[in-house]
């Protein structure tokens, strides 16, 4: 299981990246993150919503109420222009951290 500090720090880039594929809703976002990380990246489900609301207040994403195929009410979130810019910044920063770590790891085993 991944440490909670890292889970919290990765929430925004993950949400932005998932929404870049198309609009989605809270439950689906959680399920997709779980599936893509083989269950290793797990949020306390309810904690996703304050993060989504905060991102909406900051103008990174927007929301609309809609209905599922089974006519269940759902709140759908989608990416805004500022969200795309924020996502690009996140990718750049996380790639940098990843490349530094990978470089150090390689040096250790050379």
Partner 1 sequence: MFDLEKSIGEWCKQMLAAGIQTPVPLEELEIHLREEIERQMKSGLNEQRAFEISIQRIGQPKMLDREFKKSERSFMKQILKIGAGIIGVLVGMAFIMPAAAQCRHEGAMAKDEVVLYTFGMAMCFAGALLVLQSFKRRKA
The site for partner 1 (CB under 8 A) is made up of 26-27, 44-47, 49-51, 53-54, 57-60, 72-75, 82, 85-86
Residue whose CB is less far from partner 1, 17 or 25: 25
Least distance between partner 1 and beta carbon 83 (Å): 9
Tokens of 27: 């439950």
Distance (Å, rounded) from C-alpha 84 to C-alpha 61?
9
Least distance between partner 1 and beta carbon 108 (Å): 35
Distance (Å, rounded) from C-alpha 43 to C-alpha 30?
7
Least distance between partner 1 and beta carbon 13 (Å): 14
Distance (Å, rounded) from C-alpha 51 to C-alpha 39?
20
Q: With 0-12 CB in 10 A as exposed, 13-18 as middle and 19+ as buried, what is 80?
A: middle
Question: % helix / strand / coil in the chain, to the nearest 5?
Answer: 65, 15, 25
Least distance between partner 1 and beta carbon 56 (Å): 9
């Amino acid at each position: 299981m991944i440490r909670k500090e890292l889970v919290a720090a990765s929430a925004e880039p993950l949400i932005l990246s998932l929404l870049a594929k198309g609009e989605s809703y809270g439950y689906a976002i959680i399920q997709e993150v779980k599936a893509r990380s083989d269950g290793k990246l797990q949020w306390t489900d309810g904690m996703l919503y304050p993060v989504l609301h905060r991102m909406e207040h900051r103008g990174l994403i927007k929301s609309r109420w809609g209905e599922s195929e089974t006519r269940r009410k759902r709140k759908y979130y989608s990416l805004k222009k500022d969200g795309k810019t924020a996502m690009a910044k996140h990718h750049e920063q996380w790639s940098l951290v990843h490349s530094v770590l990978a470089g150090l790891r390689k040096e250790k085993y050379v």
